[in-house]
């Protein structure tokens, strides 16, 4: 009984899904070069002479787009459960010794592996455009980003068990875009207005901030507030995912 073989084929399936691959891996990389390359000498991104931000544009976009790609990767892996439920494959799997927990683990694992591929590709792209960081910063950033993905992985699983194939696709597209937009993937969210305060309550804001750990623009942006928001979202979304999972697997 090797979960390894099962996981290997699941990964193979994910890699062969060109549409998903383009959306989660290729698209963020292309967007990165489109947005960052023209600004590759901008070391005061989003600021002016009076208000210097100290942000290096290629680094800023690297962080934003890896956050977006990684978020879509874990969300869509969970949402793919919906497709398999729609065709009745989950019922077929329930006749095999694969446990429902094992099934879920594999989906999360493939989602995270895809997220890591996106992250690594964007690191490489960033380095190509001149991003330089101390080695420790790369590690801190990666660890925080992977943690900040937890709420999205959980939301993906919940969608997978609550929605059908089509509506999961739509929810994924809209949800990912909104979270990315309000999280500061495309433009810096700075200041202290009501809008900014709202954005700071979103897990995607902190996913982007996780990537800003290495930006070196003054103080470390990830503080107690980040941990608090991330923990709250993680607890709520994981509970929600477990509820959706239980509800789905205990009915016909």
Partner 1 sequence: MTTNIATHALAGIRIAGLIKSFTTPQGPVHAVRGVDISISPGETVALLGPNGAGKSTTIDMLLGLLPPDAGSVSLFGLSPANAIAAGAVGGMLQVGGVIQYLSVRELITMVASLYPQPLGVDEVIQLTGITDLAGRSTTKLSGGQAQRLRFAIALVGNPDLLVLDEPTVALDVEARRDFWTTMRRFTDLGKTVIFATHYLEEADAYADRIILMAHGKIVADGPATEIKATVGLRTIRATLPGADPDVLRALPGVTNAEIRGEGIILNCSNSDRALRALLAASPDARDIEVRGAGLEEAFLQLTGDTGTGEEAVR
5-24 footprint of partner 1 as x/- string (CB under 8 A): xx--x--xxx-xx-------
User: Among positive and negative, which fits the CA dihedral 40, 115, 64, 147?
Assistant: negative
Cβ proximity to partner 1, 166 vs 174, nearer residue: 166
* 29, 35, 98, 116: residue in contact with partner 1 (rule CB under 8 A): 98
- Distance CA(116)–CA(105), nearest Å, equals 16
Instruction: Give the DSSP per-residue string, 192-244.
Output: -SHHHHHHTTSHHHHHHHHHHTTS-SSS-S--HHHHHHHHHHHHHHHHHHHHH
* 22, 52, 99, 196: residue in contact with partner 1 (rule CB under 8 A): 99
* Residue with tokens 């979202």, as numbered in its chain: 233
- Distance CA(237)–CA(252), nearest Å, equals 24
- Distance CA(206)–CA(184), nearest Å, equals 9
Q: Is 191 in the site for partner 1 (CB under 8 A)?
A: no
Half-sphere exposure of 47 (CA within 13 A, CB side): 17
Q: Is 132 in the site for partner 1 (CB under 8 A)?
A: no
Q: Is 87 in the site for partner 1 (CB under 8 A)?
A: yes
* 52, 94, 187, 231: residue in contact with partner 1 (rule CB under 8 A): 94
Q: Is 252 in the site for partner 1 (CB under 8 A)?
A: yes
Instruction: Count residues near partner 1 (CB under 8 A).
Output: 25
* 41, 49, 51, 97: residue in contact with partner 1 (rule CB under 8 A): 97
- Residue 194's alpha-carbon distances to 142, 191, 200, in angstroms, are 29, 9, 10
Q: Is 246 in the site for partner 1 (CB under 8 A)?
A: no
Q: Is 247 in the site for partner 1 (CB under 8 A)?
A: no
* 46, 84, 130, 225: residue in contact with partner 1 (rule CB under 8 A): 84
- Distance CA(137)–CA(252), nearest Å, equals 49
Where does this chain bind partner 1 (CB under 8 A)? Answer: 1-2, 5-6, 9, 12-14, 16-17, 84, 87-89, 91-92, 94-99, 250-252
């Amino acid at each position: 009984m090797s979960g390894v073989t099962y996981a290997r084929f699941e990964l193979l399936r994910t890699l062969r899904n060109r549409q998903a691959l383009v959306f989660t891996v290729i698209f963020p990389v292309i967007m990165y070069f489109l947005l960052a390359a023209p600004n590759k000498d901008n070391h005061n991104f989003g600021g002016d002479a009076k208000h210097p931000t100290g942000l290096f544009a290629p680094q800023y976009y690297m962080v934003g787009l890896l956050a977006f790609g990684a978020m879509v990767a874990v969300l869509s892996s969970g949402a793919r459960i919906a497709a398999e439920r729609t065709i009745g494959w989950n019922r077929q799997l329930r006749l095999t010794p694969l446990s429902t927990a094992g099934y879920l683990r594999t989906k999360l694992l493939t989602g995270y592996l895809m997220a890591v591929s996106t992250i690594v590709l964007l690191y490489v792209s960033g380095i190509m455009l001149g991003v330089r960081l101390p080695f420790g910063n790369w590690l801190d950033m990666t660890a925080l980003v992977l943690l900040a993905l937890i709420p999205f992985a959980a939301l993906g699983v919940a969608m997978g068990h609550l929605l059908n194939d089509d509506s999961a696709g739509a929810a994924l597209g809209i949800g990912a875009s909104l979270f990315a937009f309000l999280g500061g993937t495309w433009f810096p969210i700075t200041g202290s207005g009501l809008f900014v305060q709202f954005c700071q309550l979103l897990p995607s804001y902190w996913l982007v901030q996780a990537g800003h750990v290495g930006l070196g623009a003054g103080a470390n942006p990830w503080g107690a507030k980040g941990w608090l928001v991330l923990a709250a979202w993680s607890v709520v979304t994981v509970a929600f995912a477990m509820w959706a999972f239980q509800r789905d697997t205990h009915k016909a």
